[in-house]
Structures are given as C-alpha cells and as structure tokens.
Amino acid sequence: MLSWIDKDTEIYCSFAEKAGNTGCQMMNTAFFYYGLNKIYKSFSVNNIEEAVSAVRTLNIKGFAITMPYKVDVLEYVDDMEDSVKEIGASNTVLNKGGKLSAYNTDSYAAMIYLELFDNKKPLYIIGNGGYAKAVKWGAKQNNFNVENITRDNWDELFDIKNSVVYNCTPMDITDWIDESNDFINCLVNTQTGFDLASLQASKQFELYTGLEFPL
C-alpha cells in the first residue's frame, strides 16, 4: 500500500502506445524497498509531443519511452547523452529542473547481456526500430559482427544457423529460429526478455534515484 503519497510525492512514468505493467511493478517495488516518496505509473499515449509537454507542466521527474516513440521523443528533449546521439533513440528521460535529458538504458542492458554470448558468431538483429538501434550499439561494444533482418530481407531469417539471433520486434518468432542458434527474445513474457527488462530497469532506477536496484 502506497500510504505515503502526498503533495510532495515525486511522479515517474512511462509512455507507450499500449501501456504495460512490468515497469510499474518493478519501479514501485524498488521505491517501496527504499521507502522513497515516489510513484511510477504507465500511460498509453497517442501523441508523444503532448505527453512530453505534460511532463514539463506537471513536473514529472522522469519517464520511460517504449514503442513506438523511442526515436520521435528526441525531437522534444533539451539534451542527450553522447551514446543517445550515436544510437538515435532514447528510452529514458530525466527532468532536471525543467530541462529534459535523454538516456538509453536498453543499450546498457544489451551490452551487458551480450557478454554472455560468443562474439565470434554472427549476430543477427531482428527489427530496425528504436530498440534495435540500442541493441546494435550494445553489440558494437562487444565487437560482434552484426547483420540486420528487416521487412526488406525477412526471408533470410529462415536460413540463419549457428549464430546469435536477437529479436527486437513485438512478435514472438521462437518457432522460426533454428535450434543451432543462440536466441535472445526481447518479449517480457520470456526468460531472456524478463532478464533484459530487469537489466535496463536497474540502470533506469539508478538514473532516477542514484541508488542500486534492489530486485
């Protein structure tokens, strides 16, 4: 029970085309663990410009961005990390006294997670949206040879073998992946997806609070 909510409670949130519960559960549990006067709420939005304007108006302290706004949000922030400039997408924004600064914790999660895999194998990134851009950056830090599967060359997916395959789309493509491959699925209802969500949330929580993620 969030019994401490009052006029001084700091609000954090996420913006997506379709809101989910994973971020709310993780962040509110972590806030509760430390006894912080903060809450986290997910919002479904259809206009990211208006959503960011609301952040400024309501003094929301930080927000996450999910599909399909990770690229478009950069038009409405005041500055960004160098890595965000390289990636071309953001999933985390902090409100620092009215100045909105963009970060990318998806790239951090991908970088850490890909350390578990053999970078001598080809890495096939499935998708080309904001999340895929962050994964490409993480793969670059781990010296992977990256290939990209998009709508333009989708048929090549079925020929991939003895590689690392990283699904960055909202589709579950598990049944299409050859058993010889190491498969990373970003969907949060899978083990790899949940692990990745936890990694990025840990970095996000650190940005929000300066504290270590307790989960």
Catalytic residue positions? 70
Cis omega before residue 68 (within 30°)?
yes
- Of 205, 20, 34, 13, nearest to 105 by C-alpha is 205
- CB-based burial of residue 117 (10 Å sphere; 0-12 exposed, 13-18 middle, 19+ buried)? middle
What is the sign, positive or negative, of the torsion defined by CA atoms of 137, 138, 144, 146?
A: negative
Q: In residues, how long is the chain?
A: 215
Dihedral over alpha carbons 69, 45, 21, 109 (to 10 degrees): 10
The residues near 114 (Cβ < 8 Å, ≥ 6 apart) are 123, 138, 139, 142, 144, 164, 166
Residues pairing with 13 in the sheet: 41, 63
